[in-house]
Amino acid sequence: LACLAERYFLVSNAKKKVAVDPHFRFNWKGKAGEILRNHTNLRAQYFEQTSDDFFLNSASKVFKKKLGICLVDGMHEFRYALNDVLNTLDHLSDDGIIIMHDCNPQSAEAECTFEDWKKRNFGGLWNGDVWKVIVYLRIFRTDLNVFVADCDHGLGIITRGNKQSYYNQFSSYEQIDALTYKDLSENREAFLNLKPVSYLKDFIR
Ligand SMILES: C[S@@+](CC[C@H](N)C(=O)[O-])C[C@H]1O[C@@H](n2cnc3c(N)ncnc32)[C@H](O)[C@@H]1O
């Protein structure tokens, strides 16, 4: 939890706010005023652990009520991001929304694996291959509405109820996992159900 969280988590007035990250990097001192100004921050809960551990051990105790909004922006690899979304869906209200960051990488470097990013000394942008979650959900979860808003590295939007056209190019997780950045760049609109920001604004309204 770092940049997005500092900007939106702390200013949100939601009565219940839960953050999960194995390594929080909040600038608590610099944000003290902001934290105290918004009393919902005093009740916010922070779980310093992986999201897999959180969902396994704590989520059902923490989420007594269903979730309204959830940001998925953790480990940027397909398997992890898919787990995050599927686990979140177990706790999402009927009209809830999952926003997933980094769904529209613009270069092979940004789309690389964690290991390759590590080899670069964590330099440069890293979106990973979370975009494959979008492809997966569009094929295997036809109960969901899934699209990517074309802004800020691609915001994946996932809600219940299918308003999208059915997409069935692949038949297994493994096939999707094997896709490359070249495949994405040649099929960006079709894979991601890519929509302009104006579509997202209308959708939320
Ligand atoms: C790009 S940062 C985004 C941070 C934060 N979500 C935000 O919106 O500001 C990715 C975050 O994923 C966290 N992370 C890495 N592995 C994770 C895992 N297995 N489960 C949950 N979060 C993880 C990192 O510690 C890092 O803070």
DSSP states of 105-151: --STTTT--HHHHHHTTT-S---TTTHHHHHHHHHH-TTEEEEEESS
Atom of ligand 1 at shortest distance to CA of 3? 9
Q: Give the per-residue pLDDT at 42.
A: 87
CA-nearest of 187, 203, 84 to 133 is 84
Q: Give the per-residue pLDDT at 179.
A: 97
Protein residue with its CA nearest to atom 19 in ligand 1: 50
Average pLDDT, rounded, for the chain: 92
Name residues contacting ligand 1 (CB within 6 A): 1-5, 20-23, 50-51, 71, 73-75, 80
CA–centroid distance, 166 to ligand 1, in Å, is: 31
112 close to 82: Cβ distance less than 8 angstroms? no
CA–centroid distance, 14 to ligand 1, in Å, is: 21
Q: pLDDT per residue over 103-158, tens digit each?
A: 999 999 999 999 999 999 999 999 999 999 999 999 999 999 999 999 989 999 99
Q: pLDDT per residue over 68-82, tens digit each?
A: 999 999 999 999 999
Distance of CA 195 to the CA centre of its chain: 17
Say what the pTM is.
0.94
Q: Give the per-residue pLDDT at 118.
A: 97
CA–centroid distance, 48 to ligand 1, in Å, is: 10
Return the best residue to mutate from 21, 82, 98 for the ligand 1 pocket (most ligand atoms within 8 A of CB).
21
At residue 25 the predicted structure's pLDDT band, cuts being 50, 70 and 90, is confident
Q: Give the per-residue pLDDT at 5.
A: 60
Q: In the chain, what percentage of residues exceed pLDDT 90?
A: 78
Atom of ligand 1 at shortest distance to CA of 22? 25
Tokens of 39: 């009393």
On the 0-12 / 13-18 / 19+ scale of CB atoms within 10 A, 141 is middle
Protein residue with its CA nearest to atom 23 in ligand 1: 74
CA-nearest of 159, 98, 153 to 131 is 153
At residue 2 the predicted structure's pLDDT band, cuts being 50, 70 and 90, is very low
190 close to 167: Cβ distance less than 8 angstroms? yes
Strand pairing report for 144-149 and 155-160: antiparallel
pLDDT above 90 (res 29): no
In the sheet that 155-160 helps form, which strands lie side by side, from edge to edge?
67-72, 92-100, 155-160, 144-149, 194-195
Determine the average pLDDT of the residues in 45-54: 96
